[in-house]
Amino acid sequence: MKILEFRSDTFTKPTPAMRRAMAEAEVGDDQYGEDPTVNKLEKRAAESVGKEAGLYVASGMMGNLCGVLSQTQRGDEVILGDLAHIYQNEMDAAFVLGGIVPRLVPNREGLPALDDIARAIRPQGMHARTALICIENSHNNCGGSVITAAQTNAIGALAHERGIRVHLDGARIFNAAAALGVDATTLTQGVDTVQFCFSKGLSAPVGSIVCGDAETIAKARRVRKLLGGAMRQAGVIAAAALVALEEMRDRLVEDHRNAKALAQGLARIDGVKIDAAKVVTNIVSFEIDPAWMETGAFQKACAERGLRFSRYLGNSPR
C-alpha cells in the first residue's frame, strides 16, 4: 500500500545532493569553533536573514531556547501569543529551565494584536520585568498564517521603545517569505533574534539555527552548552543544511501550490469544514463535522487506507 505522509513537513528526506555533501564534508571540532562546514553554514544562514551571527543547533526547540534564554534573566516575563509553538508545543522548556514567566495574549490570525501586546507590558517598579516579546512566522498553530514585514516592524518598534527585545520563532520563515513574495531579510529586520529550521520544508535531515547580533549569539552559545547541545564533528550534518539553504528555498512555492490544491479539494467534501482561502503556506488545517464522523474515527479510517495526517493541538486534523 502506498503511504501518503501528510503529518508534517518534518517527514521530508534528504536529497541525493545532501547525502553527497554529508559524505564529503570537511569537519573539525565545532565546540572549539573549528568545524569549517558549521562555520560556513552559520555565516551563510545569518546572512540569509540579515543578521550578524548564527549558532547551529540540533532542533528548532533548542534554537528557541537559546534565543529566549540568551535575552532574559530569572524572574523576567516574556510576552507571547496563547497559540505560540514555544508555549503550546515545547514542554514549557524556556519557563522551566530559565525561571521566566509567560505572559499570554490572544493570537489573532497568527499575530497578537499590537494593543494587546502594549497592554501586557509591565510598568517599571513593583512588577516583573518585561524582557522579551516572542512572535512566530509562519504560525504553526494558526494554520500556517503569515505576518508581514510591516506588522513585525510595528511590534519591534513598540518593544525597542520600551527597552524590550524581540525573538522570532521563524521555523518556517522561508515559507512566509515565499507566500508574501519577499526576501526573508525583510521579515526579520524588526527582531533581535530569529530561529529557523533546516529540517522541515528545506528537507535537511537535522538541525536549526538561531541568528542575531554577535553579542547575543555568544550568549546563546553558552546556553547551548548548558543544554548539552555543543557538538563535535557536526559538519557532516551541517553540509546537508547548507545544500538545503542554497537549493530548497525556491521549491517551497511548490509545497504551497499543493497545499492550496488540497485545501480546495477538501472544501468540496461534505462533512469537512475548511476555509481554503486562508491556506497560504504548507499547512492545511480543517475540521470534521461531528454529525458526519468523529475526528478520531476519520483519522483512523484514513490511516488504514495509507493517508496519514496529524491532529491540530490534539483536536482538528492537519
CATH number at residue 18: 3.40.640.10
Domain's final residue, options 248, 263, 280? 248
Distance CA 291, CA 276 (A): 21
**Is 91 part of a structural domain of the chain?**
yes
pLDDT of residue 316: 67
CA pair distance 180, 187, nearest whole angstrom: 10
User: pLDDT per position in the chain (318 positions), as tens?
Assistant: 999 999 999 999 999 999 999 999 999 999 999 999 999 999 999 999 999 999 999 999 999 999 999 999 999 999 999 999 999 999 999 999 999 999 999 998 899 999 999 999 999 888 999 999 999 999 999 999 999 999 999 999 999 999 999 999 999 999 999 999 999 999 999 999 999 999 999 999 999 999 999 999 999 999 999 999 999 999 999 999 999 999 999 999 999 999 999 999 999 999 999 999 999 999 999 999 999 999 999 999 999 999 999 987 756 677
Q: Are both 35 and 180 inside the same structural domain?
A: yes
Asked whether residue 167 falls in the same domain as residue 229, the answer is yes
- Residue 169, domain member (yes or no): yes
Residue 264 is part of which domain span?
A: 251-317
- Same structural domain for residues 133 and 272? no
Whether residues 285 and 227 fall in one domain: no
Q: Which residues pair with 101 in a beta bridge?
A: 77
Residue 3 placed within a domain = no
Identify the residue whose cell numbers are 554577535.
214
Q: Is residue 26 domain-shared with residue 100, that is, in the same domain?
A: yes
Looking at the domain assignment, is residue 285 inside a domain? yes
Split into its structural domains, the chain has a count of: 2
Residues 255 and 110 in one domain: no
Domain assignment present for 306:
yes
231 and 267 part of one domain: no
Domain CATH for 288 = 3.90.1150.10
Do 140 and 161 lie in one domain? The reply is: yes
- Distances from the Cα of 41 to the Cα of 37, 222, 224, angstroms: 6, 19, 17
pLDDT of amino acid 109? 84
Grid cell 537559546 is found at: 66
Same-domain pairing of 43 and 178? yes
Say if residue 138 is in the same domain as residue 157.
yes
Q: What is the largest CA-CA distance in the chain?
A: 64
Residue where a domain terminates, one of 248, 280, 297: 248
Domain ends where: 197, 230, 248? 248
Are residues 263 and 130 part of one domain?
A: no
C-alpha cell at 40: 560556513
Q: Indicate if 30 and 151 belong to the same structural domain.
A: yes
- pLDDT the model gives residue 315: 61
Phi (first) and psi of residue 233, to 5 degrees: -80, 60
CA–CA dist 233, 236 (Å, integer): 7
Q: Domain for residue 7, yes or no? A: no
Within a domain: 283: yes
Let me know if residue 71 belongs to a domain. Answer: yes
